[in-house]
A = this chain, B = another copy of it.
Amino acid sequence: MKNDRSRISVEFLGKRAATPLVLPAGIMGMTWSGMKYTWENGCGIITSKSLTMEPRKGHAGPVIAEFEGGMLNCMGLCNPGIEEGLAEVNEFRKFYEVPVIVSIFATTIDDFLTLTQKVNESRGDFVELNLSCPNVSDEYGLPLAASKIKVAEIVSAVKMVSKIPVIAKLSPNVSGLTEICTAAEAAGADALCLINTLGPGMLIDIDLQRSVLSNRTGGMSGPCVKPVALRAVFEAYSRVKIPIIGTGGVSNGRDAVEMLMAGASLVGVGSALYEGGIGIFEQINQDILTYMDQYGYGTITDIPRLEKM
């Protein structure tokens, strides 16, 4: 019974995921083989790195800085561009029956539409709009996700052209996140992904007297962002009907169950790969099953949610 993995399989927007775990954008999703390796190790749905119109090398190093409870990153949206990126997705999807979310990033509606059209022609199963990257704000200003009007505009434009379900990935670094979530739903988003990185934050090396990150600031992820992710997911879950991918700080099975109780349908696991290693996905799957056994839940959807607020 415990090893009956079908108990934690989840249906998500018409596709079946073997496990509730999602590899979030920017983690291991650069190459087709990276996608495969993660899936082989127990991840249910794979998100590609956020793809842009042109290739981007990202920021110089250091692009990662650790602190107590998490890490900052300023990768700077490095990616091979939409063409090469989709080639990696196609290469993976050609051989594996595993749902893939194609994350795309742009700063104009036109570019979002062009990207979506390319995704339409790929083997990607869902398109995720990264409206919330905090690491390129020097380049592009406030993230789009800070404005519910812009979020709604982009989502509804993309919905007009997309042949596959559309996920809006939002930022916690805004006032009134719940309203932005309801705006995304009203504009037609099929699902939400909450949260992108927190902050941003900065760390200083007091010996070299420089910021540690090359780009000075970076987005926070890892265990310490979990409380913010849970709050964002629960508040959104209380207000919207569309499913939510709960992402942020999940590092073990108990965290994953918390995320499900907060209202998430799927659970993202990103930064935990660092301390947990590639075995973290299977570990979390097993821990969810253990929890289900302890309280007598047959399938993962039996795990109760908190009462809505």
Contacts A69-B68, A70-B69, A174-B175 known; A257 to B206 CB distance under 8 Å? yes
Determine which of B201, B204, B224, B231 lies in contact with A67 in the assembled complex, contact meaning CB atoms within 8 Å.
Answer: B224
Q: A291 near B: Cβ within 8 Å?
A: yes
A221 to chain B, nearest CB (A): 11
- By a CB distance below 8 angstroms, the chain B residues around A70 are 69, 224
The closest CB in chain B to the CB of A251 belongs to: B68
Q: Could you tell me which residues of chain A, from 240 to 259, have a CB within 8 Å of some CB in chain B? A: 251, 254, 257-258
User: Would A223 and B257 count as touching, CB distance under 8 A?
Assistant: no
Q: Could you tell me which residues of chain A, from 142 to 156, have a CB within 8 Å of some CB in chain B? A: 142, 146
- By a CB distance below 8 angstroms, the chain B residues around A72 are 227
Contacts A176-B142, A211-B306, A309-B216 known; A258 to B227 CB distance under 8 Å? no
A302 to chain B, nearest CB (A): 12
Q: Could you tell me which residues of chain A, from 183 to 212, have a CB within 8 Å of some CB in chain B? A: 198-204, 206, 209-211
Cα–Cα, bound, A227→B201 (Å): 4
Cα–Cα, bound, A144→B224 (Å): 26
User: Would B228 and A201 count as touching, CB distance under 8 A?
Assistant: yes
A47 to chain B, nearest CB (A): 24
A93 to chain B, nearest CB (A): 34
- By a CB distance below 8 angstroms, the chain B residues around A224 are 67-70, 220, 224
A-B contact pairs, 22 of them (CB 8 A): A67-B69, A67-B224, A67-B227, A68-B226, A68-B251, A69-B70, A69-B224, A142-B175, A198-B228, A200-B228, A202-B227, A202-B231, A202-B234, A202-B262, A203-B226, A204-B230, A206-B261, A209-B261, A209-B306, A210-B306, A220-B224, A220-B228
A residues within 8 Å of B by Cβ?
67-70, 72, 142, 146, 173-176, 198-204, 206, 209-211, 216-217, 220, 223-224, 226-228, 230-231, 234, 251, 254, 257-258, 261-262, 291, 304, 306, 309
